[in-house]
Amino acid sequence: MILDRLLTFTGNLATGTISDAITTTADASNVIDLGLNGVPATLTAAQPGGPLALGGARDIGIGDDPMLKLLIMVTVPFTSSANTLTCSLSGAPDSTTTPGTPGSYTVMWTSPAAVPASSMTTAGIYLSNVDVPRQIPGQPMPRYLKVTFTASAALAAGSVYAGIVIDRFDQPWGYNPTGGLPLGAYIPGITVNN
């Protein structure tokens, strides 16, 4: 996979981390600005052409083939727990009252079900493996994207990476009766015809 720091929701550039420790419900550390990078705080809609006339916007998802991917994966395994984690991606247009800041967010994608922390005990487990969604009907074109992690209750120890990537390593997880999830392993008894 190819990682682009400008398209990473988690981590801290100053400390060199790319993942967030997840213990409670929270937004990922970073909001992705698909518009201008480094918009001055004094920029206003009253300037000639408005704030978006300066260019520099990043086009995500429209007409791409293959589409860019939303990747959310476990980087530090969680300790076994009955508590669950749900992930969502939201988008917001530029604020009409304070240009250069997000307006109201609209949820564009939510993980299909709450993932129990007991199934996130292996680094590399994917919590999302979807294409970056387009805006939903009635949603203004998003300039800002954020990922939100929703925990059913406090989670113990564990970190997650979230970002937009050009490709993922989409090898299916196999079956291992002694624990763990080996890559590409077939369940015993299945015959694969060549």
48 found inside a domain: no
Q: How confident is the model at residue 109, as a pLDDT?
A: 94
Domain span at 139 = 3-37+58-165
Give the global pTM.
Answer: 0.74
pLDDT of residue 105: 96
What is the reported pLDDT for 189? 60
Residue 55's pLDDT is what?
Answer: 45
Radius of gyration of the chain (CA): 19
Strand-pairing partners, residue 102, are 94
C-alpha atoms less than 13 angstroms from C-alpha of 182 in its C-beta half-sphere: 9
In a domain, 152, yes or no: yes
Query: Is residue 180 a part of any domain in this protein?
Result: no
Distance CA 90, CA 68 (A): 16
Q: Is residue 179 part of a domain?
A: no
Residues of the chain where predicted confidence (pLDDT) is lower than 50 = 1, 37-56
In a domain, 90, yes or no: yes
Q: Specify if 85 maps to a domain.
A: yes
Count of structural domains, the chain: 1
129 close to 71: Cβ distance less than 8 angstroms: yes
CATH label of the domain that carries residue 64: 2.60.120.1110
Cα–Cα distance between 135 and 34 in angstroms, integer?
13
